[in-house]
Structure 1
Amino acid sequence: MSAPRAFIFDMDGTMVDSMPAHARSWEWFRQRHGLDMPVDEILRRTTGRNGAECVRELLGADVPEDRAWELVGEKEAVYREIFAEEFREVAGFTAFASQARGRGLKWAVATGGDRHNLAFVLDRLHLQADADARGDMGLPGKPDPAIFLEAARRLGVPPPDCIVFEDAPFGIEAAARAGMRAVAICTTHPAAELAGKHVIAQARDFEELTKKNFLESLHA
């Protein structure tokens, strides 16, 4: 296995333990818009999608683009308010990202979320990514590989030299379609749902990856 040149991290559920806060903000959205759909179903139908795709999935394909982004912007503002009170990273992420950079690896964030959510997370983690690719750039959500490919392009690293870190099946699939190796972070789905020939490791969190000497193994 060739040594990688860059890591690409999904954000929600991978870098930060934000899915409970997203669930609560989707509950707010559900009540506000009279959606007769349980939150578990909303989460299942919106995973990996960009904001406009989420709104159209829930309220109908005829919602105009500008209105869809306006509606999801309201929901994400509620999410940030909720998560600000309970903010937490996925265990070991900050140390892992810093160690990766110390080994000369670039890293990017690739998320279906918007620039406000990304800035919110990086500010609280006290980190700065080398690049990012987001759903509000007009990129389709996962499992389309576009977000990962754009992150690699912005890093200036060929896709085969990137490793994706993901917590969701659509993200694992998107990594495969982008021609990238992947690491499954099993915060929201069991390992069996995050498998594939391109998946080179699975772990509960970044503390476990570190204990397994994952970074050292890449250059062995």
Structure 2
Amino acid sequence: MADVTVAHTFLPADYTAHLFDLDGVITPTAEVHMHAWADMFQRFLTSRGIEEPYTGADYYAYVDGRPRYDGVRTFLSSRGITVDEGTDEDPGIQEPDTETVRGLGNRKNDLVLSLLRSEGVAPYPGTVAYLDALPRTARLAIVSSSRNAEEVLRAAGLLDRFEHIVDGNVATREGLPGKPAPDTFLHAARLLGVEAADSVVYEDAVSGVQAGASGDFGAVIGVDRGAGRAELTAAGATFVVADLEEIS
């Protein structure tokens, strides 16, 4: 059911820039990431003889929306597990015994890429309708922790919709801290030449909503794909919808 409050009080045309998270907002790849994290972490815990399983609650609390290696560190820390940091070149699926922060993160990324290439990806219809309904003067950017954002957008047929992509590769190159820090969203607004107050953030992750809220953006729209309406609201969402079609 559409949220009447959002439809009546939030007007996209009131804002110049629209900054979209990718996984879970534009495409359902959040589910792919969720499954890959679960596969990787459960195999890791089992290999160490740890009986307490990795759960969906762990994903939302420690991993969702964070840069890949931050997600590894945060989850392992929650279990009191310490491993070496490793390097970006540590192998993933090819050598599953490489139990470093970056090796585990790379293993998860290999799983995601394998799933994307075998199954493909289609954008959320409601999101496409929302993009179509935005004013022609709207300035659009993707702000994603993923390092595969361009590949996903190309597969979804939406790459040409966005002027800029601020992803994990850009964050690393520019030295920008990842979500829940607001820096990647602020960087996207700067690239568009638009003030934060005249920009809207669209996020499905608690950490992403926190990033938008702490950046003093004009509005933060939480898209509830599983994180929870109450949790997204508590994180600082101006409004929470189940799908962007509610406000298109």
- Structure-2-length-normalised TM-score: 0.73
Asked if 2 retains the 8 angstrom alpha-carbon contact of 1:148 and 1:175, the reply is yes
1:28 deviation in Å? 2.8
Cα deviation digits, residues 59-107 of structure 1 (max 9, x gap) = 636413434445423322311322441623233212322332x431011
**Does 2:113 match 1:113?**
no
1:161 deviation in Å? 0.9
Aligned to 2:56: 40
Q: Which of the residues 60, 66, 70 maps onto 2:82? A: 60
Aligned to 1:158: 195
* Letter in structure 2 aligned against 1:14: V
Distance 1:79 1:39, change over 3 A: farther
Cα deviation digits, residues 100-151 of structure 1 (max 9, x gap) = 2x4310111111111xx21222112212211121233223221111111111
Q: Aligned partners of 1:179, 1:194: CA distance in 2, in Å?
A: 16
Aligned to 1:187: 225
Count of paired positions: 207
Q: How does 1:62-101 map to 2 (within 5 A)?
A: 62-66=84-88, 67=90, 68-69=101-102, 71-84=104-117, 85=119, 87-100=121-134
* Letter in structure 1 aligned against 2:178: G
1:31 deviation in Å? 4.5
1:7 deviation in Å? 0.3
Aligned to 1:3: 14
Aligned to 2:245: 207
1:173 deviation in Å? 1.4
1:32 deviation in Å? 4.5
Distance 1:198 1:55, change over 3 A: closer
SS of 1:54 mapped into structure 2: helix
Distance 1:202 1:61, change over 3 A: same
Q: Which of the residues 157, 164, 170 maps onto 1:126? A: 157
Distance 1:121 1:62, change over 3 A: same
1:42 deviation in Å? 4.2
* Letter in structure 1 aligned against 2:149: L
Asked if 2 retains the 8 angstrom alpha-carbon contact of 1:11 and 1:111, the reply is yes
Greater radius of gyration (CA): 2
Aligned to 1:214: none
Unpaired stretches in structure 2, ≥5 consecutive residues: 1-9, 91-100
Distance 1:187 1:197, change over 3 A: closer
Asked if 1 retains the 8 angstrom alpha-carbon contact of 2:27 and 2:124, the reply is yes
- Deviation larger for 191-200 or 153-162: 191-200
